[in-house]
Amino acid sequence: MLGVSDPAAAPAVPVILLGGASGSGKSYLAQHYGRPALQLDNFYRNIAEDQSDPMPRTAYGEIDWDDPGTWNCEAAVASVKQLLGTGETSVPKYSIEQSTSFGRIRVRLQAGGQVVAEGVFARTALAALRAAGVPVTAYYVDSPRLVTTLLRFARDVREHRKPIPFLIKRGFALYRADPAFRRAHLEAGFVPVPKRELKRLLAAGKAG
């Protein structure tokens, strides 16, 4: 467990959480406007854990990497709290292509910065962060699902994230699930905002 200082004594740093479909632009926004950016997908579980603690499966029998059961929520929340309480934290360096982490990455809070966290499991993270007493402003990156589907597939192929047959099956599954996925985020407290408008808010420091 990470050493975490008392969050009540932490500075009032804005924590902005970005949710949205895979490929909607969450990582782009966090990397360009976060000071720092915190990629919650780095807390995916290692595939080796599937041997001793089986992960959720898709309808076609493969590990369902879009299920929160493949993600370490407790470690992600602890890392956010440590970042706020001490000004820095350490996160796994995760390879989506190999489904395994290799070493760790230091993340430091910049003076006057805003923490922008994002990830596929932002909805799970939002509930856990609020339960832990961390103040969060949550936005859903609103994007047409066909555009998101095409951008996601192009990115995943370019980055060799998974075998092509898996990406095709996953793409169809995510396309069908997108309306329910969006609705669940809004019901959880995310505010839907188009990517262009989020760029403007984040750049102006008015998203927190």
Output the DSSP codes for 93-160: EEETTTTEEEEEEEEEPPTT--EEEE-TTHHHHHHHHHHTT---EEEEEE--HHHHHHHHHHHHHHTT
Instruction: Say which residues have a Cβ less than 8 Å from residue 84's Cβ, sequence separation at least 6.
Output: 7, 10, 11, 13, 15, 109, 115, 134
Total number of domains in the chain: 1
What the block records as the tokens of 34 is: 């976060």
Is 2 within a domain?
no
Is 64 within a domain?
yes
Q: What is the pLDDT of residues 173-194, one digit of tens each?
A: 889 989 999 999 999 999 999 9
Is 80 within a domain?
yes
Cβ neighbours, 10 Å, residue 161: 19
Is 54 within a domain?
yes
Is 192 within a domain?
yes
Cβ neighbours, 10 Å, residue 201: 17
Indicate the burial class of 130 (C-beta count within 10 angstroms; 0-12, 13-18, 19 or more).
middle
Instruction: Say which residues have a Cβ less than 8 Å from residue 78's Cβ, sequence separation at least 6.
Output: 1, 2, 4
Is 208 within a domain?
no
Please, what is the angle between helix 164-188 and helix 122-131, to 10°? 40
Q: Residue 113 has what pLDDT? A: 81
Range of the domain at 38: 7-201
How far CA 108 is from CA of 82, 85, 91, 158, 167, in Å, comes to: 10, 11, 11, 29, 34
CA atoms within 13 A on the CB side of 88: 6
The pTM score is: 0.82
CATH of the domain at 52: 3.40.50.300
Rounded Cα–Cα distance for residues 31 and 38 (Å): 8
Is 89 within a domain?
yes
Is 207 within a domain?
no
Rounded Cα–Cα distance for residues 60 and 169 (Å): 9
Are 207 and 201 a contacting pair, CB within 8 Å? yes
Instruction: Spell out, as residue ranges, where the chain has pLDDT lower than 50.
Output: 1-12
Are 16 and 26 a contacting pair, CB within 8 Å? no
Going by the DSSP 8-state scheme, the letter that residue 86 receives in this structure is H
Rounded Cα–Cα distance for residues 153 and 161 (Å): 10
Q: Residue 92 has what pLDDT? A: 96
